[in-house]
Amino acid sequence: MTFRGSAPTSAQLQHVRCLFTDIDDTLTTSGRLLPQTYQALWDLHDCGIQVVPVTGGSAGWCEHIVRAWPVAAAIGESGAFMMTLDKGRVATEFWEDGALQARRQAEHRRAIEPLLGAFRLAHDQQFRLADVAIDIAGQPGPDIEALAGQIRSHGAAVAISSIHINTWIGTYDKRTMSERLLERLQISPDDIALSTAFVGDSRNDAPMFAFFSNTFGVANIIPVLDDIPTRPRWISERPAGLGFADIAQTLLAERRGAPLS
């Protein structure tokens, strides 16, 4: 598989058994899940590599994912909760108390709605349990930054993805809930560096790029690299879901003992 610049080595990837990944514009391509990408998820699953989507996406989206996709869990709303499937039932573990997070969400939404101006809440806001998502499609970069700064001045956490400003009240993020899930998966702190990897595409993935050792960006991350304090270690040649499929094939080749091409 081809990467921009340096490529991973066998020694770096041969022990990976859990792959964390962003969804929007990492797994999806123009909002759709391509057949190559979905097949890559199944190939990883069948080869014994657990996949964990980590997204700013809503609880409604995450419930579908854990029911229909071959994943070990889904972390949603930027770390507000993790969802797993247990004997056909979806189990949700919140970062704190679900009712507390819901109250904070309602109060935060009331506080920031007067700031939105030309911005609009995300279409899936009604399916969210803890955060507030603001659609940024077509909005100028300086306007996005200005709104994010206003929201931060209210004491809220803010993460900017390729499609949304996600904002919430709480001390969690994608990384903190991923660390909690690693404990559930019985991956010890000493094993994380060798046995895990992460794939992302945007600024809101910065905590994950800083935490994991084996980190990949899909090609569409390039325009925002200067905004990410810790850059991904490797970047695929192809963007979005096709880039993810290439990264998956690289991991699978190591898992199966085949040489990297």
Question: pLDDT per residue over 212-234, tens digit each?
Answer: 999 999 999 999 999 999 999 99
Q: Quick one: average pLDDT of 38-52?
A: 98
- Please state the separation of Cα 194 from the chain's center in Å: 20
- Mean pLDDT, the chain, integer: 95
pLDDT of residue 1: 55
Q: CA-to-CA distance for 123 and 61, rounded, in angstroms?
A: 12
Question: pLDDT tens-digit profile of 115-136?
Answer: 999 999 999 999 999 999 999 9
Domains of the chain: 3-95+172-255 (3.40.50.1000), 98-168 (3.90.1070)
Q: Which residues pair with 236 in a beta bridge?
A: 3
- Whole-prediction pTM value? 0.95
pLDDT tens digit sequence for 153-200:
999 999 999 999 999 999 999 999 999 999 999 999 999 999 999 999
7-16, 93-102, 131-140, 169-178: range with lowest mean pLDDT: 7-16
Do strands 81-86 and 74-76 pair parallel, antiparallel, or not at all (unpaired)? antiparallel
Q: Does pLDDT of 260 surpass 50?
A: no
Sign of torsion over alpha carbons 88, 36, 257, 4? negative
Instruction: Kindly tell me if the per-residue pLDDT of 255 is higher than 90.
Output: no
Structural tokens at position 209? 């790029």
The neighbour count for residue 194, using CB atoms within 10 Å, is 17
Per-residue pLDDT reduced to its tens digit, 13-33: 999 999 999 999 999 999 999
* Parallel, antiparallel or unpaired: strands 215-217 and 196-200: parallel
